Amino acid sequence: MCLAIPARIEEMTTPGNAIVNLGGVRKEISLALIDDATVGEYVIVHVGYALQKVDQQEAERTLEMFAEMGQLDELREELAGGSA
């Protein structure tokens, strides 16, 4: 299953890339599709690209819903590059 998931930007790497964190899983993603992303912001991530910024409250609410549905572990595995 492929979903776009919220993740927090932890570190800027090469120009146009960043390390994001979702529940302890860290992954480098591309920021090519959004403008002015900064450390601490949340972005919606799909197949290695940040699609848009999202506020912290919305990101946390979305992650909470995934957890309630029992999907959060699957999303973490997908972000880490697994085959969920």
Both structure tokens of 30:
């591309």
pLDDT along the chain (84 residues), means of 10: 83 96 89 96 94 95 81 68 54
Cα–Cα distances (Å) from 56 to 13, 24, 46, 61, in that order, read: 22, 17, 18, 8
pTM: 0.78
- Residue 83 is predicted with a pLDDT of 47
- Residue 4 is predicted with a pLDDT of 82
Sign of CA dihedral 7, 65, 73, 83: negative
- Residue 43 is predicted with a pLDDT of 97
Domains of the chain: 5-80 (2.30.30.140)
- Residue 84 is predicted with a pLDDT of 43
- Residue 71 is predicted with a pLDDT of 66
